[in-house]
Amino acid sequence: LYWMAKKSPDRIRAFLLDEAKTHLQGSADLKHFQPKYGPWEQRLCLAPDGDFFTAIREKKASVVTGEIKEFDEQGIVMETGERVDADIIVTATGFNLHDNFPMNDIQTDIDGVPYDSPGAILHRGTMVADVPNFAFTLGYINASWSLRLELQCKFMCRVLHEMDARRMTICVPQLGDDVQEGDEPLPVSSGYVLRSAHRLPKQGNRDPWQAHQNVFADGRILTGGSLDDGLVFTVAGPPPSRL
């Protein structure tokens, strides 16, 4: 569905609206199910067994889509003037990403130069160019978050086993002359991503300097492929002794 939405967003939008109309059975105005962004420009929520629509049909829940004008003592006032009365309001949007991803609050210097995320390029979506012995996890925006995490952990184990086999103590991704700056790692238009876009690292323009929103493509570069493509193994000081 994700790739179909990217290729034919209008067709998928029409399909989703038709499905919503069928399940709502006239219990809600369809305008509230038509956000201004296209399908999968932001994360798409699934409703197993249609329980979400059942709650709306039974008047146990409702949906209002729009922009908030203000809060008052009764609840929320929308820009359209529509009111949403509420006893409790849970603010579940508007958060911001860390501004030095993926180090975040970790103060990191590389040979005396402070790490600065906008100038960084990610390797396999798991390591960072010129940063030795460091890996992180970043899940999917179009599938279970943990699917990629499992692949990334397998990749990290590959690297550790290779370091042990070569008796090396350092593994660092290094850019080749043929690698250029590519896209950002989070291909969505969610507000928290757009607000931090200028501070996010980039991907490269070819594998293995890219992470894909596709478990099969990621599996190919994380669990297979040569580790010497983009990674440099070295030793600091005497090689580790074997027990």
Residue from 82, 223, 97 nearest 154 by CA: 223
What is the C-alpha separation between 185 and 197, in angstroms, rounded? 10
| Burial of residue 82 (number of CB atoms within 10 Å: 0-12, 13-18, 19+) | exposed
230 alpha carbon, distance to own chain's centre: 23
pLDDT tens profile 98-110: 999 999 999 999 9
CB 50 within 8 A of CB 7: no
Burial of 148 (C-beta count, 10 Å sphere; 0-12/13-18/19+): buried
Is the model's pLDDT at 160 over the cut of 70? yes
pLDDT for position 45: 83
Would you say residue 242 has pLDDT above 60? no
- CB crowding 116-138: b at 16 or more within 10 Å, else e: ebeebbbbbbbbbbbbbebbbbb
Mean of per-residue pLDDT scores for the chain: 91
Q: Is the pLDDT of residue 43 over 70?
A: yes
Flag whether pLDDT at 156 surpasses 90.
yes
Other beta carbons within 10 angstroms of residue 39's beta carbon come to: 22
Distance CA 94, CA 41 (A): 17
Return the pLDDT at 92. 77
Q: For tokens 């922009």, what's the residue?
A: 67
Residues in the chain: 243
Q: Which helix (H) or strand (E) holds 72?
A: strand 68-72
Q: Percent of the chain, pLDDT > 70?
A: 97
Residue 49 has pLDDT above 90, yes or no: no
Which tens digit of pLDDT belongs to each residue from 223-241? 998 999 999 999 986 655 5
